[in-house]
Chain A
Amino acid sequence: MTTHPHPLRLTTVGIQDSVRIEVQGDVDYDSADLLLEEVTAQLAARPALTDVHLSCAGLGTVDSMGLSALLMVGRRTTVAGVRLHLDDRPAYLDRLLELTGTLDYLTAPVPSGAAEPSVTEERAARPTGPDRPT
């Protein structure tokens, strides 16, 4: 983090209806916005998109703002009806997602339709399919 900063680099490759973004470096307080902007731009530029792959093999540290950005990415892809895949997750990312109870949400196999359930709806049905390893 402060001792060894790895600046975030994003490499985007689009193939027809899917796009792969290679995430290298830290997704943290200073850089989290970049990731969100990139995904949002891809969603806007490719209306026919069905899948967004974030390739996490080169991922550095992810702090709370980084996780917040990932959740926003999840929210935007869900709204757009696009599947989000977090590929090649390092073990510590899995631990972070498990601890915060967000693993299912971010790796849910099928987007649950259009918009998210409303705020007041308590414990609405979640996508119940088995987690597909991505």
Chain B
Amino acid sequence: MWWLVDDTDHQLAREALHMERERTAFLAKASSTLLASLNLGRCMDVTAQMAAESLADAALTVAPARGGRLPVVTCLRGGAPAVSTLTVDPDDVPGLGEALRGFPPVPSRWIDPATAPAWMVPEGFGPVGSIVVTPLPGHGVPAGALIMLRKAEAAAFSDEEEVFTRLFAARAGAAMSAARLYAEQTAITDVLMRELLPPVLHQISGVDFAGRYRPSADHERIGGDFYDVHPAAVEGEASLVSLGDVCGKGLEAAVLTGKIRNTLHALLPLADDHQRMLRLLNSALLSSHHTRFATMVLASAVRRGSTVDLRLTSGGHPSPLIIRADGTVEQADTHGTLIGALPNISATTVEASLAPGESCVLFTDGITEAKGGPMGNVLFGEERLKRALSGCAGMPAEGIVEHVQMLAAQWLGNRPHDDMAVVVIATPRTHHLSAVNGHTRGRYTA
């Protein structure tokens, strides 16, 4: 007796299951590879390469055009992805213009392979058999398009394959879109950083200036400390130094810092009246939406004979310290209100003069509130700073800045810290008439 068993359905089911498993594995691999990178170029490479390996004979990832130029990554099966920027019209390829605008894909059978422009077909590919153009959907805006090519002798894309391609494209688009957003954010941060970097200081009109800024090692890269030195417009008038600390961190702090520096610059003609300057700055910053504020010190310094005359005003900021020639450290007796949060502010200005070899130290609380020491939880503190400074009598401005930053860094060890900024104004010990180094405008004798 013979039994005839029909196992066609069983075979089909097994094949379908096998294929489904392979596709799931492919998508899982695509997700993990794509999400491992926040680099847009790398995401485009991976997308083209994976598509060329598993779905087609060649694949192109196309990003949205920028200024009429189309960034394209081309990859042949078994080859390495190649990057190019082409000045072509995406509408020359049926379905590509639509895909880049985020419209649903055109079915493959509607695209005549013979219409493929030369830039689309990789070198040595031969005649094109079929083309699929799939949009890469992004977060709100299209992230680009994926073009896949098969050779003339290969089977055309089935409907099922086109649907699967869209699943892959969804993952690739999300990754490219995230990478693009990240790149834009990094670019914004870089622009702001460049704008906010403190200036390099040097000698101006017979007064030594030195400054150093150590940003917080926090992952939000822009901190809230700033300093500036504005040379006098007219020889013989005072240069203005501003040093301050903006509350908060990140972009909002950076924006406020930028505002303060610009406003102070515009107010320079009023620099002989610190209180008025601070009042105007305060009203410029005041907002009904928030109470973000800055604390700062203004210092006007001008050389008179062998000494430097100072006017110092604190707006809610730790008072500057003055190092005398004999090592005594005095705290400048200036107090005031923080800037930018209260409708009315007040501040007192003190005058001081620095003999040759004496200096004035402006600092932010990142120094005094550095937490560390032998036990790891002690504040560096103002007393310790004063003791350290008393050993700096007679040192050049650059040396004092270096010393203070080094001590704070030692105190901290590897612990996290806030921004730390120090500016030193010093009277140089100049005894001869030839003290001209290219930065100075005049000559001084002691």
**B385 interface residue (CB < 8 Å to A):** no
Contact residues in B for A122 (Cβ distance below 8 Å):
279, 283, 344
Q: Give CA–CA (A123, B415) in the complex, Å.
A: 43
Given contacts A68-B290, A101-B337, contact A29 B283 (CB under 8 A): no
**A16 interface residue (CB < 8 Å to B):** no
Q: Give CA–CA (A105, B336) in the complex, Å.
A: 13
| Most chain B CB within a 10 A radius of its CB, from A63, A68, A98 | A68
Contact residues in B for A63 (Cβ distance below 8 Å):
247
**B338 interface residue (CB < 8 Å to A):** yes
**A93 interface residue (CB < 8 Å to B):** no
Contact with A along B400-434 (1 / 0, CB 8 A): 00000000000000011000000000000000000
**Least CB distance, A77 to chain B, in whole angstroms:** 13
**Least CB distance, A89 to chain B, in whole angstroms:** 18
A67 touches B247 (CB 8 A): yes
**A119 interface residue (CB < 8 Å to B):** yes
B343 touches A99 (CB 8 A): no
**B42 interface residue (CB < 8 Å to A):** no
Contact residues in B for A1 (Cβ distance below 8 Å):
371
B248 touches A102 (CB 8 A): no
**B342 interface residue (CB < 8 Å to A):** yes
| Residue from B224, B290, B335, B344 in contact with A123 in the complex, judged by beta carbons closer than 8 Å | B344
Size range of the chain B interface in the assembly: 20 to 34
A119 touches B293 (CB 8 A): no
B416 touches A2 (CB 8 A): yes
Q: Give CA–CA (A42, B312) in the complex, Å.
A: 42
**A126 interface residue (CB < 8 Å to B):** yes
B291 touches A101 (CB 8 A): no
A71 touches B316 (CB 8 A): no
| Residue from A98, A102, A121 in contact with B342 in the complex, judged by beta carbons closer than 8 Å | A102
B337 touches A102 (CB 8 A): yes
Contact residues in B for A99 (Cβ distance below 8 Å):
316-318, 335
B248 touches A64 (CB 8 A): yes
A68 touches B224 (CB 8 A): no
**A72 interface residue (CB < 8 Å to B):** yes
Contact residues in B for A68 (Cβ distance below 8 Å):
247-248, 290-293, 341
**Least CB distance, B254 to chain A, in whole angstroms:** 15
A64 touches B224 (CB 8 A): yes
**A132 interface residue (CB < 8 Å to B):** no
A3 touches B415 (CB 8 A): yes
A64 touches B245 (CB 8 A): yes
**B286 interface residue (CB < 8 Å to A):** yes
| Residue from A2, A71, A117, A119 in contact with B291 in the complex, judged by beta carbons closer than 8 Å | A71
**A94 interface residue (CB < 8 Å to B):** no
In the complex, residue of chain A having the shortest beta-carbon distance to the beta carbon of B338: A100
In the complex, residue of chain A having the shortest beta-carbon distance to the beta carbon of B318: A99
Contacting residues of chain A (95-131) with chain B, CB-CB under 8 angstroms: 98-102, 105, 116-124, 126
Q: Give CA–CA (A117, B63) in the complex, Å.
A: 54
B291 touches A75 (CB 8 A): yes
In the complex, residue of chain B having the shortest beta-carbon distance to the beta carbon of A106: B342
**Least CB distance, A68 to chain B, in whole angstroms:** 5
B415 touches A2 (CB 8 A): yes
**A86 interface residue (CB < 8 Å to B):** no
Contacting residues of chain B (284-316) with chain A, CB-CB under 8 angstroms: 286, 290-293, 295, 315-316
In the complex, residue of chain B having the shortest beta-carbon distance to the beta carbon of A2: B416
Contact residues in B for A100 (Cβ distance below 8 Å):
293, 295, 316, 337-338
**A34 interface residue (CB < 8 Å to B):** no
| Residue from B291, B371, B376 in contact with A72 in the complex, judged by beta carbons closer than 8 Å | B291
Q: Which residues of A are in contact with B by a Cβ distance under 8 Å?
A: 1-4, 29, 63-65, 67-69, 71-72, 75, 98-102, 105, 116-124, 126
Extra pairs beyond A2-B416, A99-B335, A118-B343 (20, CB < 8 Å): A1-B371, A2-B371, A2-B415, A3-B376, A29-B248, A65-B247, A67-B247, A68-B290, A68-B292, A71-B293, A71-B342, A72-B291, A100-B293, A100-B316, A101-B316, A101-B338, A101-B346, A105-B337, A117-B344, A120-B283
Q: Which residues of B are in contact with A by a Cβ distance under 8 Å?
A: 224, 245-249, 279, 283, 286, 290-293, 295, 315-318, 335-338, 341-347, 371, 376-377, 415-416
**What are 21 inter-chain pairs, A to B, with CB distance below 8 A?**
A3-B415, A63-B247, A64-B246, A67-B247, A67-B293, A68-B248, A71-B291, A71-B341, A99-B316, A100-B295, A101-B316, A101-B345, A102-B316, A102-B337, A105-B337, A117-B343, A118-B343, A120-B283, A122-B283, A123-B279, A123-B344
Nearest first, the 7 closest Cβ-Cβ pairs linking A and B are A101-B337, A64-B247, A100-B316, A71-B291, A72-B291, A100-B338, A71-B341
